[in-house]
Structure 1
Amino acid sequence: MTTTTDIVAKLWGLCNVLRDDGVTYNEYVTELTFLLFLKMLEETGRESRLPEGLRWCILAKREGMEQLDYYKAMLLELGKAKDGLVSAIFTDAQTRLRKPTNLKALTSNIDQLDWFSAREEGLGNLYEGLLEKNASDKKSGAGQYFTPRPLIDCIVRLMKPQPGEVVQDPAAGTAGFLVAADHHIKNQTDDLYTLPEAQAFFQRHNAFVGGELVPDAHRLCLMNMLLHGIEGGVENIDTLSPDGETIPKANLVLTNPPFGTKKGGGRPTRTDFSITADTSNKQLAFVEHIVRALKPEGRAAVVLPDNVLFEDNTGRRLRTWLMDLCNLHTILRLPTGIFYAQGVKTNVLFFQRGKTDKGNTKAVWVYDMRANMPAFGKTRPLTVADFADFEKVFGDDPNGNAKRQDLGEESRWRCFTRQQITDRNDNLDITWLRDTEAEAEEHLTEPEDIAAAIIGHLKAALEEIEALSDELEPDSVDEAAAVAEAAE
């Protein structure tokens, strides 16, 4: 067990203490974020970013109610700090702790950790390990903010982010994609040391941008980025509102946008949306944002649920528009059970923005990683090795221009021309292998995996119902109401 893994296990073990104080799992990680931020600034010699008198050593030395009162006042003051990143992390920050003994338990245990070894292995790795632990725990409900790291790493390897490029995630969550892209670039540049100073500054301050709607997820996002040497760049905004138009355009978009519909049936309020302005389907609206966010010849890899591939009306118009403006060169059909908090069937769409607005997609290559695959979950976690065959056939060109070969109907890798897709009414939900998903699910043994599979099927059904309801024209609704009234 590495030092980082050991520390993560110890920190996570403290949550059992806090449950007696009414602190939920997700609140616990937010609470830890506040405390770890203060401790890590001390460990890295960067406490000058904090206002005078607000230091970890002062907090840690106090006892009883005096410590809890000081901590509460400290959070309020940090939310007003002049340092933009500090104030962003602590904006509206409140502690859920009520018992002084629990705060003392946290500060004492954090002080006793092996911080020297943690610094050697990387404080960012420690924090990301904590986020992964939180996301993998079903009770925390945090999986909605966490894309499995093997999937992220596969996508980043294929998309090859480069120094000097702007990388965007419009639904950043805890910044998994952005941190992985940063890591990829640092591996190419000896941790940025081979870059000119101006370009290294750009990488730290301007290369990674995006938005995150949920305030607590935004805090985790900023903390994760900071500990990996990235200063800000992700705003606490609704990307589907006019605020989303202010996110800088990108050379590369990597994202796993939220699934489902906007609460209350709300529509995007973006002034630049023309395709999805009248739908409450969030993932369709995010696709329009991504296409509009790409610079000419910019590229994207986006995790999307199945309904984006087959939904009619707005969905079909969006797919046609996407294939006109972009070269949609590859679709990866992902297996079920790979997401911690949901069993919804998903795909990764890989595309490049064209120089023109017509006819950019000539053919779409599809890799089926879902049919005849084991049921992934707690007993069979997703690994980097699971993507090896897909990465091989994808090739080394991030825009799908590597030499490719259709391996036939018995294989997982097929090519479909634009005309063939047109003949399918631009339906991209393409399958050809016999799907033994149900047989794989029969071998699940962990209650959590079985429950996730059931929830996944229910969510998929609800998605289809919501999509149908959303796409009903007002005339159809009025007609249905009239029929129902006549039947009475």
Structure 2
Amino acid sequence: MPTHDIVAKLWNLCNVLKDDGVTYHQYVTELTYLLFLKMAQETGTEDQIPAGYRWADLESKSALERLNHYRLGLVHLGTNGSQLAQEIFANASSFIKKPATLSTLVSEIEKLDWYSAREEGLGDLYEGLLEKNANEKKSGAGQYFTPRRLIDSMINVMRPSLTDVIQDPAAGTGGFLIAANHYLREHHDFDALTEAQQRKYRTGTFYGMEHVQDTHRLALMNLMLHGIDGGIRYGDTLSDDGAALPSATLILSNPPFGTKKGGGLPSRTDFTFPTSNKQFCFLQHIYRGLRPGGRAAVVLPDNVLFESGVGKDIRRDLMDKCNLHTILRLPTGIFYAQGVKTNVLFFTRGKTDKGNTREVWVHDLRANMPQFGKRTILTAAHFAEFEAAYGDDPLGSPAALAQRTDTGETGRCRRFTREWIAGRDDSLDIAWLKDDEAESSTDLPEPSVLATEAMQELEAIMEDLRGILAELGEEEVEEVES
């Protein structure tokens, strides 16, 4: 049974939980608890689970006893067993209300062809479930899931190596770290590594942080099934937790968009430019967290490229400390929030903190592109031209940039000097291509898209006003209800 068939069967089991009012995201979390027990049995790693709480113990109970035993087991495993088991079951509770529902899940999971699943890769099976969950709009999980084709393209040009320390400060379910692991295993002979080298790879290569506990447990499960030990910590990158992450030679990330809840500043105090705008905070963490010569590829919304005030200060600081050599303007419709326009920024930390950016290359993959969604799927072919134009040097060195071709006003790839950018108030919102067909009244975006864009603009305005109040030494006035 191919992996995708097993994924389909597991996903269809969520129908069993509908009567219990369980959401899609809750279902994947519930399934993670059960799959951890089952996969520990299949992989011979049940020593990390205390006796009496393993899959066979659960399966041996009568239907009426099973649900109570399962609930007690979730609590027990949160404080007993291996560190990984305790993290996955931390604060765990079941959404299942009926004994018959749990019994159906257990019996159906037991029926699956686990031999085939092991042969094809348990990690791929679990990733398939996460992707199903992300693509289901009702689950709300899309915010933790970056399109795999985009991740793969970013990995292809960043070219991870076995000497890299790789970090994702907004790890979600671990997609970037898993993709980097896939790339390294495809390009290196791991059988030739010594036991010490393999141990160092499993425990000292991948680092990340995730702020949502349910998502964190999914990420840990994902990494475990791909042979990576731990790696993603539970915590808030915009607090002192994030300051404790080790510096990296490669950072890959798609940070959350928007402002900090409540509009306050992050509790982290080592940022040069305090702001409640989360993407600007994450951007500061990323370029400050790179070792000299380290590189990063980061997905960020358009407002990062043009916001004034503290946004301009952070862009200027980024271009001083790093060689911001490439911006990829992404197509619309590839993320869960259709109205969000995004880019990937590629930069390399300099050995000094001044004057590292001398030119920025912009590749426009947004103009004259299809509207992606269920009908038009994003594929690797859509990134082929960009990857060819990017070249073979992941660092974007001056010698490598000299090999690129400026395709002019009718092409997708253009070069802009640092002086030219400074002359436009350090705005990086650079576009020159126009869509072939002008929008007519029937081509206007959906109301939800227009509303999202309006909210982004209002948030930017509010951020500027907060900055003005801060400069005047004034407290922000609370909104008065009319």
The answer, yes or no, to whether TM exceeds 0.5 is yes
Give the shorter-chain TM-score range. over 0.9
Structure 2 residue aligned with 1:144: 143
Q: Deviation string for 1:244-263 (max 9, x for gaps)?
A: 11011100000000001110
Give the distance between the partners of 2:232 and 2:324, measured in 1 at CA.
27
Superposition map of 1:442-461 within 5 A? 453-461=446-454
Q: What SS does the corresponding residue of 2:100 show, helix, strand or coil?
A: helix
Give the distance between the partners of 2:348 and 2:308, measured in 1 at CA.
23
Structure 1 residue aligned with 2:24: 25
Output the TM-score relative to the length of structure 2.
0.94
Query: Following TM superposition, by how much is the alpha carbon of 1:65 offset from its aligned partner in structure 2, in angstroms?
Result: 2.7
Structure 2 residue aligned with 1:409: 409
In 2, are the aligned partners of 1:79 and 1:89 still within 8 Å (CA)? Answer: yes
Structure 2 residue aligned with 1:264: 262
Give the distance between the partners of 2:436 and 2:208, measured in 1 at CA.
38
Query: Following TM superposition, by how much is the alpha carbon of 1:33 offset from its aligned partner in structure 2, in angstroms?
Result: 0.5
Query: Following TM superposition, by how much is the alpha carbon of 1:460 offset from its aligned partner in structure 2, in angstroms?
Result: 2.1
Q: Deviation string for 1:369-409 (max 9, x for gaps)?
A: 00111111111011111100000100011012321110110
Superposition map of 1:69-468 within 5 A? 69-190=68-189, 192-275=190-273, 277=274, 279-401=275-397, 402=400, 403-435=403-435, 439=439, 453-468=446-461
Q: % of aligned pairs identical?
A: 58
Query: Following TM superposition, by how much is the alpha carbon of 1:291 offset from its aligned partner in structure 2, in angstroms?
Result: 0.8
AA at the equivalent of 1:56: W
In 2, are the aligned partners of 1:343 and 1:457 still within 8 Å (CA)? Answer: yes
Aligned residues: 473
AA at the equivalent of 1:364: V
Give the distance between the partners of 2:438 and 2:162, measured in 1 at CA.
44
Q: What SS does the corresponding residue of 1:216 show, helix, strand or coil?
A: helix
Q: Which moved more, 1:78-87 or 1:419-428?
A: 78-87
Give the distance between the partners of 1:66 and 1:77, measured in 2 at CA.
16
Query: Following TM superposition, by how much is the alpha carbon of 1:457 offset from its aligned partner in structure 2, in angstroms?
Result: 3.0
Give the distance between the partners of 1:53 and 1:65, measured in 2 at CA.
17
- Is 1:36 paired with 2:32? no
Query: Following TM superposition, by how much is the alpha carbon of 1:189 offset from its aligned partner in structure 2, in angstroms?
Result: 2.0
AA at the equivalent of 2:88: I
Give the distance between the partners of 2:113 and 2:447, measured in 1 at CA.
42
Give the distance between the partners of 2:441 and 2:415, measured in 1 at CA.
29
Give the distance between the partners of 1:441 and 1:335, measured in 2 at CA.
21
Give the distance between the partners of 2:277 and 2:102, measured in 1 at CA.
42
Aligned-residue Cα RMSD (Å) equals 2.2
Unpaired runs of at least 5, structure 1: 445-449
List, as ranges, runs of 4+ consecutive aligned residues in structure 1 with deviation greater than 6 Å.
475-479
Query: Following TM superposition, by how much is the alpha carbon of 1:13 offset from its aligned partner in structure 2, in angstroms?
Result: 0.8
Unpaired runs of at least 5, structure 2: none
Query: Following TM superposition, by how much is the alpha carbon of 1:459 offset from its aligned partner in structure 2, in angstroms?
Result: 1.6
Q: What SS does the corresponding residue of 2:362 show, helix, strand or coil?
A: strand
In 2, are the aligned partners of 1:189 and 1:195 still within 8 Å (CA)? Answer: no
Query: Following TM superposition, by how much is the alpha carbon of 1:210 offset from its aligned partner in structure 2, in angstroms?
Result: 1.1
In 1, are the aligned partners of 2:24 and 2:133 still within 8 Å (CA)? Answer: yes
In 1, are the aligned partners of 2:332 and 2:338 still within 8 Å (CA)? Answer: no
Give the distance between the partners of 1:20 and 1:283, measured in 2 at CA.
39
Query: Following TM superposition, by how much is the alpha carbon of 1:477 offset from its aligned partner in structure 2, in angstroms?
Result: 9.2
AA at the equivalent of 1:238: D
Query: Following TM superposition, by how much is the alpha carbon of 1:58 offset from its aligned partner in structure 2, in angstroms?
Result: 1.3
Give the distance between the partners of 1:454 and 1:110, measured in 2 at CA.
42
Give the distance between the partners of 2:357 and 2:441, measured in 1 at CA.
36
Q: CA 1:144 to 1:194, structure 2 compared with 1: closer, same or farther past 3 Å? A: same
In 2, are the aligned partners of 1:169 and 1:253 still within 8 Å (CA)? Answer: yes
